[in-house]
């Protein structure tokens, strides 16, 4: 699948966002090795801190569909931003747990222009399972 197609999927996912409070819809799409694309969107709550970001909803949905880190090949994020959208700190921690450290993450802006990064780059020195045993 072309990068542009995956970004379009993230744009479609954005339509599923429930963001009446921030009015800032975000969409995510994760491409799997088997060709499936799992979508995510931010879903907010009147009790604001209970809201969930697009990145985490996509990763949790992937997990519930039976996909593991090793199955994932690309991650696209789309927002109505001038600049490239960037995952929040909480999502970076969850991405580092559930998404491969070297796999591409495409951060797109409202025009569909993107930069490519990795979670290793977005969250260096991440806290991980290994730290629990030291």
Q: Please name every residue paired with 78 in a beta bridge, in sequence order, or none if there are none.
A: 27, 108
Backbone angles phi, psi at 104, to 5 degrees: -70, 140
Residue of 35, 37, 36 lying closest to 7 (CA atoms)? 37
In the complex, the smallest distance separating the C-beta of residue 82 from ligand THU, rounded to whole angstroms, is 14
Q: Which of 24, 36, 45, 112 binds ligand THU (CB under 6 A)?
A: 24
Residue of 44, 45, 38 lying closest to 13 (CA atoms)? 38
By CB under 6 A, the residues from 28 to 47 that bind ligand THU are 42, 44
Give the DSSP H or E segment for 27: strand 26-32
By CB under 6 A, the residues from 48 to 67 that bind ligand THU are 51, 53-55
Of these residues, 55, 70, 97, 111, which one is catalytic?
A: 55
- Give residues in contact with ligand THU (CB under 6 A): 19, 22, 24, 26, 42, 44, 51, 53-55, 85, 87-88
> Which residues are marked as active site?
55
């Amino acid at each position: 699948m072309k990068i542009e197609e995956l970004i379009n999927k993230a744009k479609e996912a954005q339509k599923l966002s429930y963001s009446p409070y921030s009015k800032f819809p975000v969409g995510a799409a994760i491409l799997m090795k088997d060709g499936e694309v799992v979508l995510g969107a931010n879903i907010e709550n009147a009790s604001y801190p209970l809201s969930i970001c697009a990145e985490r909803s996509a990763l949790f949905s992937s997990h519930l569909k039976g996909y593991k880190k090793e199955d994932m090949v690309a991650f696209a994020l789309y927002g109505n931003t001038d600049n490239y959208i960037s995952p929040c700190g909480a999502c970076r921690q969850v991405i580092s747990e559930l998404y491969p450290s070297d796999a591409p993450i495409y951060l797109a802006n409202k025009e569909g222009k993107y930069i490519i990064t990795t979670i290793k780059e977005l969250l260096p020195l991440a806290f991980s399972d290994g730290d629990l045993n030291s």
